[in-house]
Structure 1
């Protein structure tokens, strides 16, 4: 039997142990548990002690990492190795936040100088817009930015700017459009003045269907109102295909490059972050990069037993592949982090939602849990019923600031109390006996207490991780994103899957290109399945 299989067998045996014990019992057996499973970084504290794990399981998972040559794979992440083996590319988002003194080579060329040169160009361009020095065609300053993109080139900047609302300049309003549904774009256009609107089109290929559809519509809208000269003043492209951007009509000085080795879901650190800089300014963006870089250095240099992204990734392997938990909820107790959930959803599920390994062999273990969630306290009134009393065990990530940076500081006390209480309740639960007594103490009869007790009992032993930070700053947000990036990378490395491709999105695109002309020409094709053909016939009926 291979070494790898032996480790998986050990983990399977450990699973049987955890079916007979609880997190509370783990605390009783190990008085140092909180210290062992807590991590303190700069203004960030992460508590893993309420998880279904012990030190022996971590050692077994670290053994798996050793067998998978994890150290070598991690080194490849920071040195430009071809980690995306299907597309034969490095995955070098870490180069976008590395110090100037670093050397990272792609095809024999150190890419770091180009990264920092582009960063300076981005910040210079953004500051000219923010200051009002760079104006539109009618010599009025820009007051609105419309960012058009899809996938990572949309969700990243949108998430960051929502999270850092309190750091944004008040005289520039930034909106985002990504959906092919025209109602989204129309809603934005109703409040935009073409003379004061700058359009940022983010598309690596400059051919993504939804992005170009929205861009062409926006172009038509702008030219009808300002004329053809508006293209050179009001449109910016962030792309790896300069020729297509030029053909669209965008001038060279307004085109910023996305390198081939930057994946879409990791692209917010790249030129795609131009919209972020326009919103929060250069200094705050630098601080955002510093936060991510601090986690990069921690991930690279910290021993396994204290390496937070490594342990989080291994914990997810344990939950998904061994304990067979099918999903994980992310619950930020901060309204500004409401888009963080969908961002991490794409990061983890697009990276690791694979059923074959790097060599094309079918996976024998479950990979990539479903990631979902919503902001607290709102979520307490929707799906928390299932978290506490449902039949599925769903690990939770809680995120909250200790200190409010908004005016009404007393609200933070309520947020904190709720967040800490929910985490505690998930772990401790309340058994039938204690529930019956509580109901009796409240004045109910014995009969009524016994009747209601099963409905008011909580199994507990539901795991959670707490991310507690001082305040939601650009630096902290950079740290959080980088932690989740490296966590996803760890999972891919230990499962031996490619976390940097996304072939699963291609078939739907291909079939869209087959169906679209049929809809446009009001015809059916003989190769359509009966269900799709019938649905199209219904569409044609509705359109008569």
Structure 2
């Protein structure tokens, strides 16, 4: 029986269950609430009975989730197509790798980035000038993770330092990041694992030209730094070797913010805050590595998400973050989950048996979503589970905070219970209910709890991949479009169809 067949069979066994009626089952309630590393997760508003939950946990046991997690933490090869380990947990705790060369390299790089970040905090950091603006140039994992964390930890930023992020080829993206900046007090960080990414290198060249225009070639060296798995390519690009921070090939892009790829966070937040972020993630690492499957928060969320997708056939999931600081969480999770789980073959290269892999992830900021997509969530013909993200203590006594969290609690209840319409517009006002949701509560939004939340989702994705039987660490699907774009730019249109040829002419590319 395949993983997906197993999920469908488990789901079929409880068809027709009324979700609202399950909430009075105390044993089920105890089984579907979890706490770890400053986070609370409530899975009671899901369409499954207690026996179904136990069947899911048994499925995880049969598929060897514990063993696969142990292999991940031990630095074993878990990325089979590229024959690499996945070293993001070791970035948080190099001791996981013992006295290996990889552990030593991580420790050395961390010391080097910390020294650099501390140097950038001095008033004479840039040829006698302080750093007032940091511009992080990267895309994908070199942008989304650091950008999300920097926004989320707005209350912890270094005083007097602005950090901007540039990812897009549209020249306006870099223009906006440099608007009002003083070249003498601007630090440019180029973040690229391969140091061949087109968007990053083109923007880096444009940023370099901006520095040269204002300060001459002599101003470049002190104002550029890079993080990459290919330091020789960064040197060839013209960067000072002392300001190139290497990370290992086993650190995947979308998992890389814990490595030197998080340089913008160390410089923009400070090394101590970055340390706290790492410690929060490490606390979740310790939980997922030691908690039994039925009390393991990332495993539980993974089981629920695969059950909803492969068992119930729900193609998407909404992430509703009830915090302005967490506004970019859905975008971050889109890459983490959809690039990891958006596969059509299993780890052995065979088709996934029933055509299911990870869902589409979307969402935004509560309570704004309540005035847009929640109409579709409540009364649309399609259905999507919702992840509510709450903060228990916002650190202020404010009626808006009470209203914000009241809205979150109300929306979860409304999705569960719906309502019966009355009067002439009864059919218009009726809301069916019975729609699933999960609720995360962070004690406070701190570096520690944010690190734990991110690590939870990283591990959740890994466990989902084990259940689906696929490799979450490669991303071959993103390469084809890049390759075709290079052909167009070189003038090689052989093999392109008529619409593509016509479009290149309309866009002035021929």
Are positions 1:472 and 2:445 aligned together? yes
What SS class does the counterpart of residue 32 from structure 1 fall into? helix
Q: Aligned equivalents of 2:255 and 2:493: distance in 1?
A: 39
Larger Rg: 1
* Residue 461 of structure 2: aligned partner: 488
Q: Aligned equivalents of 1:483 and 1:526: distance in 2?
A: 46
* Residue 187 of structure 2: aligned partner: 198
* Residue 114 of structure 1: aligned partner: 105
Q: Aligned equivalents of 2:28 and 2:243: distance in 1?
A: 54
* Residue 498 of structure 2: aligned partner: 530
Report the TM-score when normalising by structure 2.
0.96
**Contact 2:299-2:460 at 8 Å conserved across structures:** yes
1:292-303 mapped onto 2 (5 Å cutoff): 292-303=281-292
**Contact 2:14-2:49 at 8 Å conserved across structures:** no
Are positions 1:377 and 2:372 aligned together? no
**Contact 2:322-2:390 at 8 Å conserved across structures:** yes
Are positions 1:314 and 2:289 aligned together? no
Q: Aligned equivalents of 2:190 and 2:493: distance in 1?
A: 35
The runs of at least 4 aligned residues of structure 1 exceeding 6 Å deviation read none
Q: 1:408 to 1:216 in 2, by over 3 A?
A: farther
* Residue 24 of structure 1: aligned partner: 20
Structure 2, unpaired ranges of 5+: none
Higher RCO, 1 vs 2 (CA within 8 Å, ≥6 residues apart): 2
Match of 1:43 among 34, 38, 45: 38
Q: Aligned equivalents of 2:6 and 2:64: distance in 1?
A: 19
What SS class does the counterpart of residue 417 from structure 1 fall into? helix
**Once the two structures are superposed, what CA deviation does each residue of 1:93-133 show, in whole Å capped at 9, x if it has no partner?**
100111x644347xxx3422332232222122111212324
RMSD between aligned residues: 1.8
Q: Aligned equivalents of 2:314 and 2:91: distance in 1?
A: 34
Q: Aligned equivalents of 1:480 and 1:73: distance in 2?
A: 21
**Once the two structures are superposed, what CA deviation does each residue of 1:75-98 show, in whole Å capped at 9, x if it has no partner?**
110111111111111111100111
**Contact 1:352-1:492 at 8 Å conserved across structures:** yes
1:369-518 mapped onto 2 (5 Å cutoff): 369-405=359-395, 409-431=398-420, 435-436=421-422, 449=423, 451-518=424-491
Q: 1:223 to 1:10 in 2, by over 3 A?
A: closer
What SS class does the counterpart of residue 97 from structure 2 fall into? coil
Point out the more displaced range, 59-68 or 388-397.
59-68
**Once the two structures are superposed, what CA deviation does each residue of 1:397-437 show, in whole Å capped at 9, x if it has no partner?**
111111113x5633210111111001110011113xxx31x
What SS class does the counterpart of residue 490 from structure 2 fall into? helix
Structure 1, unpaired ranges of 5+: 437-448, 519-523
**Contact 2:10-2:56 at 8 Å conserved across structures:** no
Q: Aligned equivalents of 1:187 and 1:9: distance in 2?
A: 50
Q: Aligned equivalents of 2:338 and 2:482: distance in 1?
A: 18
Q: Aligned equivalents of 2:10 and 2:282: distance in 1?
A: 35
**Contact 2:7-2:310 at 8 Å conserved across structures:** no
Q: Aligned equivalents of 1:103 and 1:191: distance in 2?
A: 45
Report the TM-score when normalising by structure 1.
0.90
What SS class does the counterpart of residue 187 from structure 2 fall into? strand
Are positions 1:367 and 2:335 aligned together? no
What SS class does the counterpart of residue 130 from structure 1 fall into? coil
Post-superposition offset of 1:526 = 4.7
**Contact 1:104-1:110 at 8 Å conserved across structures:** no
**Contact 2:14-2:52 at 8 Å conserved across structures:** no
Are positions 1:253 and 2:249 aligned together? no
Q: Aligned equivalents of 1:500 and 1:324: distance in 2?
A: 24
**Once the two structures are superposed, what CA deviation does each residue of 1:157-187 show, in whole Å capped at 9, x if it has no partner?**
1000000000112300000100011111112
* Residue 97 of structure 2: aligned partner: 103
